[in-house]
Amino acid sequence: MKKVLLLGASPEFVGELQANHARHCEILSTHDIDTAYSLLKTGAIELLLIQLNNNYGLNLEQLKKFLKKINRRKFKQLTRILIAANGGDYQIEPLLKLGVSAV
């Protein structure tokens, strides 16, 4: 079973994914970057979804450091996707340079 890690996701987003995809993959969720890194080190995570959300937001500087760290470790199995909330005022260009695809 594939494992998906959600970082900074709202409870509504987590619930929607679990309702629609729980049969096909195991969904883990955290707002803590250190916890996310610990989970990634297990090697079992195949997809990292990072949600930039005004209400459940992540510190962008910490997020940049986190993305640099996982780029150095070469998590080859990991697909990284960034999800920005509608109407959010985010500077995602620096994050895109760190190996993240944006939606």
pLDDT in tens, 25-44: 999 999 999 999 999 988 88
In this prediction the pTM is 0.83
Tokens of 54: 């005004």
What pLDDT sits at residue 98?
76
What pLDDT sits at residue 89?
64
What pLDDT sits at residue 37?
93
Tell me the residue type at 34: D
Q: Is the pLDDT of residue 15 over 70?
A: yes
CA 93 to chain centroid? 16
Q: Is the pLDDT of residue 8 over 80?
A: yes
Task: Say if residues 54 and 48 touch (Cβ distance below 8 Å).
Answer: no
What pLDDT sits at residue 30?
92
pLDDT in tens, 43-86: 889 999 988 865 556 778 888 898 888 887 778 778 888 887 66
> Which ranges in the chain belong to alpha helices (H)?
11-21, 33-41, 60-73, 93-96
The Cα 69–Cα 63 span in angstroms is 10
Domains within the chain, CATH numbers bracketed:
2-102 (3.40.50.2300)
What pLDDT sits at residue 59?
78
